[in-house]
Amino acid sequence: MNIGEVSEQAGLPAKTIRYYEEIGLIAPARDVNGYRDFSEGDLHSLAFLGRARALGFSIEDCRMLMSLYRDSSRESAEVKRIAAGHLARIEKKIADLAEMRDTLAHLVRECAGDNRPDCPILKSLAAGARPDRDGL
């Protein structure tokens, strides 16, 4: 399979697939003409990567997960550890964003949004208390 077809089937841009090869996530064979020649296994790996990335796993997480996937004797504990760590990061991010949303939503409600210059949003940015940025 050429990269175009694989791109289509895996739902990943060709650029991304080349990038994944560059960083060693996949290693497709090469045709005599220099074109990448993807096997079913490569396609499978790319689909795996696509799903893991869609769940927000980092590239390094993906590398780990792929190698765990290929190691049929691995223990599920390690996979769970990675997934749980990622889940915790996602939950932290959601909480941070929810805080931003609440503050912003409040300000947007307060602001008349008309042609008068008085604006509570700017007032708050100029003088308001700044929320903790720890760990953002």
Partner DNA sequence: CTTGACCTTCCAGCGACTGGAAGCCTTATG
Partner DNA sequence: CATAAGGCTTCCAGTCGCTGGAAGGTCAAG
The contact set with a second copy (CB under 8 A) reads 11, 44, 47-48, 50-52, 54-56, 65, 68-69, 72-77, 79-81, 83-84, 86-87, 90-91, 93-94, 97-98, 100-101, 103-105, 107-108, 111-119, 121-122, 124-126, 128, 130-131, 133, 136
Q: How far is the CB of 92 from a second copy (least distance, A)?
A: 10
Torsion of CA 132, 133, 134, 136, to 10 degrees: 140
Torsion of CA 112, 113, 118, 123, to 10 degrees: 90
What residues from 23 to 62 belong to the interface with DNA (CB under 7 A)? 31-36, 53, 58-60
Torsion of CA 118, 133, 84, 51, to 10 degrees: 50
Identify which of residues 59 and 82 has a Cβ nearer to DNA in the complex.
59
User: Which residue type occupies 18?
Assistant: R
Identify which of residues 81 and 110 has a Cβ nearer to DNA in the complex.
81
Nearest C-alpha neighbor of 24 from the set 77, 63, 82, 58? 63
* Interaction site with DNA (CB under 7 A): 2-5, 7, 13-16, 18-19, 31-36, 53, 58-60
